[in-house]
Structure 1
Amino acid sequence: MEIKTNQATKNRPEGNRVIDAPYVFIDIPRFVEQLKNEKSWEKNDRNGITVFKSSGMTMVITALKSGAVLNHQRMEEFFTLQVMQGEIQTETDGKIIQSIQGQIAVFHPNIAHTILALSDSVLMMTTYVCP
């Protein structure tokens, strides 16, 4: 298996990291600290980092400031959303659901949803394609 890495960028100079290999260990607290210490967090209402990416699955840790909105229109993949810190509100299919730390939501493909951060929050979002 080919090992894939992300390269450093101007906005993320310490960005070199393995994102796909036979095994990938993810230090969530370190990534959350990194997100909240970057200039993007100071300037914007969100900041995110891809921590795993293969041909069928992507995992992203996203920090949201209170009031930030993520509008996902009909994603083609399965989607999971784990609240790691804070509180969010998800609107989907005419329903509004509030979620707090430790809760997970799972969406089948093509289910539109909108996420509102009710407080500063950290989410682990995963998309994956089922064979």
Structure 2
Amino acid sequence: MENKSNEATPLRPEGSRIIDAPLVKMDLNEFIEQIKSEATWKDSDRNSVTIFKSETMRIVLMGLHEHAELKSHKANGVISVQVIAGKINFVVGEESLLLEKGQMVALHENILHHVIAVEESFFLLTLAMNKK
């Protein structure tokens, strides 16, 4: 397996962060600080960073300001959402789950859901995709 790094972008011009390799170490506290230091966090209601990306799995650390909302959407794979800090409402249909630090939820693919931050929150979104 070849190590893969992220491509440099205007938001993260340094590039070179390993996002796929046989072993990838991820420092969530460091990524939270990075998210909070970027202009996107200061200028909008959210920011995120992809911390792992392979052919079959993606892990994204998402930060939401208090009351920020991820509008209704579907994922094209099974997902898990694990709260690292704060509190979120994870809503599927009429059911709303309050998730706090240390709690998580899993959801099968193609199920409409949305997320509302009760307070400033950070969570790991893991997406497992079918290999084609």
TM-score, length of structure 1 as denominator length: 0.94
**How far apart, CA to CA, are the structure 2 residues paired with 1:7 and 1:109?**
28
- Structure 2 runs not aligned, ≥5 long: none
**Alpha-carbon distance, 1:14 to partner:** 3.1
Aligned twin of 2:33: 33
Say what the alpha-carbon RMSD is for the aligned residues. 1.2
Between the aligned partners of 1:43 and 1:18, the Cα distance in structure 2 is 27
Q: Give me the whole-angstrom Cα distance separating, in 1, the residues matched to 2:104 and 2:125.
A: 10
Pair 1:92-2:97 in alignment: no
Equivalent in the alignment of 2:13? 13
Letter in 2 for 1:100: E
Which stretches in structure 1 are left out of the alignment for 5+ residues?
none
* Cα pair 2:58 2:126 within 8 Å, conserved: yes
State how far apart, in whole Å, the 2-side matches of 1:11 and 1:75 are: 25
How many residues matched? 131
- 1:94 shift after superposition: 1.4
Determine the C-alpha separation between the residues in 2 that align with 1:20 and 1:58: 10
Cα deviation for residue 130 of structure 1 reads 4.8
Partner of 1:70: 70
The letter for the 2-side match of 1:65 is: H
Distance in 2 between residues matched to 1:15 and 1:41, nearest whole Å: 19
CA distance in structure 2 between the partners assigned to 1:42 and 1:15 by the alignment:
21
| 1:40 counterpart SS class | helix
Task: Provide the rounded CA distance (Å) in 2 between the counterparts of 1:58 and 1:34.
Answer: 19
> Aligned equivalents of 2:43 and 2:17: distance in 1?
24
Q: Residue deviations 1:27-77, cap 9 Å, x none?
A: 111010000001111001000000000000000001100111112422220
Are 2:5 and 2:15, in contact at CA under 8 Å, matched by a contact in 1? no
CA distance in 2, matches of 1:76, 1:38: 28
Q: Which residue of 2 aligns with 1:117?
A: 117
Moved over 3 A (4+): none
